Amino acid sequence: MATPVVPDDFPRQLEPGVVPGAQPKLLVREVDGVYHTDLTDEECWSRFNVCEDLARQLAEYAAKKMSTAGLSLDDALVRVEKGLETKVSAGQWDFSGNEVAWMVKRASELLRTA
């Protein structure tokens, strides 16, 4: 059985942070005694799984809206993206802006190949 691979277009960078002060700073995280500036392989895989699952759910939701409300593909995707951004900005879901963009793109791909 082949080992699943995170697609190359999946965002691996953490959201940039801001630290006040006049001197330059390097924002890193310590994981098991090692400093990281991006997601670890395990974190990346975990976040990809969540984003892929949600993208599939969003594609199903958009397809349903397209058939029941007569929305075009583009209109359905705009609604999906707006809903995602609303949940993220309200603090209900913890996704980066790059992850939101990737999920909308992935939902679009799934809808176009269905």
Alpha carbon of 22 to those of 8, 15, 79: distances in Å? 36, 21, 42
Angle (CA) 40 46 50, round 5°: 140
Question: Mean pLDDT, 10 residues at a time, over the chain (114 residues)?
Answer: 78 76 78 83 92 97 94 94 96 93 97 88
Q: pTM of the predicted model, to two decimals?
A: 0.82
Q: Which residues pair with 34 in a beta bridge?
A: 31
